[in-house]
Copies of this chain bind each other. A is one copy, B any other.
Amino acid sequence: MSQRPFNFSAGPATIPQEVLHMAAAEMLDWHGTGMGVMEMSHRGKAFMAIHAQAVADLRELLAIPENFRVLFMQGGGLAQNAIVPLNLSRGGTVDLVVTGAWSQKSYKEAGKYAQVNLAASAQASGFTTLPSPNTWQLSKEAAYVHVCSNETIHGVEFHELPDLQALGSTAPLVIDFSSQVTSRPVDWSRVGLAFGGAQKNIGPAGLTLVVVREDLLGHAMAVCPSAFDYTLVAEHDSMYNTPPTYGIYLAGLIFQWVKQQTETLADGTVLRGVAAMELRNKTKAELLYSYLDSSDFYSNKVAKDCRSRMNLPFFLADESRNEAFLSGAQAHGLLQLKGHKSLGGMRASLYNAMPLAGVQALVAYMQDFERSHA
């Protein structure tokens, strides 16, 4: 396969080209059924098999315990900001930890349905740090504690999930892992519910993943739309309404791709699946961060202990060169590097599907650009 340009979009984002080739090849006929996946009844044997395989593969990849349900929904992370409190808050108190643009949105939306306690905020630092969990002001009776485990816009990431029990809270932890899912393992012993839009690491926009502990089901508020009632969705195995079937199929192909990925350690140990992705993602992020830190021409402002492996915002010291940087990058086959409008500057998203070669090409371009403009 010839190399395509490297696409650093924060989402919708690059997809492994092997997956795209497979999807194109199967577009008109999936496995001899005479139908493309888009054309299949979600109640038919063929799609039921695709769905069951995707769930099983994700369970295996993320080692999801038996007492969690895997739901495929619609509406993205933004809709979940309402759907989580509609299902879990019971109209009581919820704790929010605000660490960037995404958890800010979650904080605001939860206020429609629950009493929201701002347990901690990193706003004073411009969202360049993460407040240490032992400083969080947790409520006694919170229905849940909400954390965005990776902030796609501000580029901060929890490298360890908070242990709420150790902090004296009995509330379940809710994580928005949209831009993190399958990039590293999840410690489910610390999690009650995890949700994420698919369009960063696991598929096309329009598919939303929810992994929820069974004991949290059954408490939706009366005003929760049936289509977004986790209990109904779980009882109907994500088929309460017509699911985004093609998105589930694509996610399934991506899960298969992740399962096939390997990385070999110096001692010969072979890592597979999410463990391989984690090592590769660490290597990729370290390569770009170490270059950013070694240069006065570029900078990343996030504290070193909470820098995201997935989303790396960076800035040129002389921002008048932004347009030249971006058009040069485009000419070198390095796409979608423009930063989010709320921060400006640049952003390189290094999701699972971005190969190390893409980061190497980006750093090489940045070095060239620095040399010719410094």
Contact = CB atoms under 8 A, between A and B. Distances in A.
Given A27-B20, A245-B206, A227 B78 contact: yes
Interface in A205-255: 205-207, 222-223, 225-228, 240-247, 250
A242 B38 contact: no
A356 interface: no
Contacts of A23: 27
Interface string A17-39: 10011011101110001111011
A363 interface: no
A28 B4 contact: yes
Interface in A275-291: none
A43 B347 CA distance: 14
Contacts of A5: 34-35
A325 interface: no
A11 B242 contact: yes
A370 interface: no
A36 B15 CA distance: 9
Given A39-B15, A42-B12, A75-B74, A243 B81 contact: no
Given A76-B241, A225-B109, A227-B76, A39 B82 contact: no
Interface in A162-200: 197, 199
B27 A14 contact: no
A4 B29 contact: yes
B28 A227 contact: no
Contact of A34 (B4, B38, B228): B4
